[in-house]
Structure 1
């Protein structure tokens, strides 16, 4: 077999494998977190680094859900109390502890979400989509899922969240 034929065979095999990979459904993966008792799913591809809540410098005249700014690996990030933003609790209630989930750099926003607790990782094989109509929802609240224990999880699209007008309005109004 000549080198040209071997190269051609390799290219055909690679093209077939790439086509098969495109046709297979992609596995959804989420970071499961809790905020004020609510279960939330953050897409792994949109979430970045996770770290414990440390020093957060308050920002005067900020929206009630904006806790302040924090230095994460030398970069200042606006810290958003996710539970307060979603209306699950009032500002300041329970924000002394928790973890920060920094947005993926690909979203081009220097922000982090303050969550109460990291639960772990979830994928679509562990969850079943809830088909009941939950009523009106913001554009960033994509869908709901139910796990094997019956707990409902709300999937959030962080790329849509950073485009939400309320998220972009950080000044107290």
Structure 2
């Protein structure tokens, strides 16, 4: 009969080991995970650290003498938040937004009280599951990279910092 050797581990050591593994897994998942969005006809990836909140499209009040891509302002919990139609800002023609449309509130450290409308959420995407592609020289500054998934779909990385620092994005009024 074979002898079984069993190492004894205290409950405290076991719990500490589990907590360390969970913290490591959470850190890796946060670094690797991106929010998948459909903006117009394209798939985009956004760093979770650049997003404050995602919500269904609220009522938006238009602003006179603004570009057509600037939809106006929305009252979000007592704060007026600017709303940009991101597909229109990117120069895409579309018929409007469906019930799947979402308002993505940007982190205030980038631009306070700012949000963008997107066509729909595509879930979390992990960069480890995607294959990086080379950027074309004609891409706007806010395209921070390109990937392809296993199904062959292309994904662009939205560089929120470059987008909100783009002079055209900041100039919502018609001059």
Q: TM-score, normalised by structure 1?
A: 0.78
Is 1:102 the equivalent of 2:87? no
The whole-number CA distance in structure 2 between the counterparts of 1:66 and 1:138 is 19
How many residue pairs get aligned? The number is 149
Aligned to 1:73: 77
Residue 105 of structure 1: CA displacement? 2.2
Please report the TM-score for the alignment, with normalisation by the length of structure 2: 0.77
Counterpart check, 1:29 vs 2:33: yes
- Any stretches of 5+ residues in structure 1 without a counterpart? 1-20
Matched, 1:162 2:152: no
Q: Secondary structure at the match of 1:150?
A: coil
8 A contact 1:145–1:152 mirrored in 2:
yes
Over the aligned positions, Cα root-mean-square deviation in angstroms equals: 2.2
State the match for 1:15 in structure 2. none
In the alignment, the residues of structure 1 paired with residue 165 and residue 76 of structure 2 have an alpha-carbon distance, to the nearest angstrom, of 22
How do residues 42-81 of structure 1 correspond to structure 2 at under 5 angstroms?
Answer: 42-81=46-85
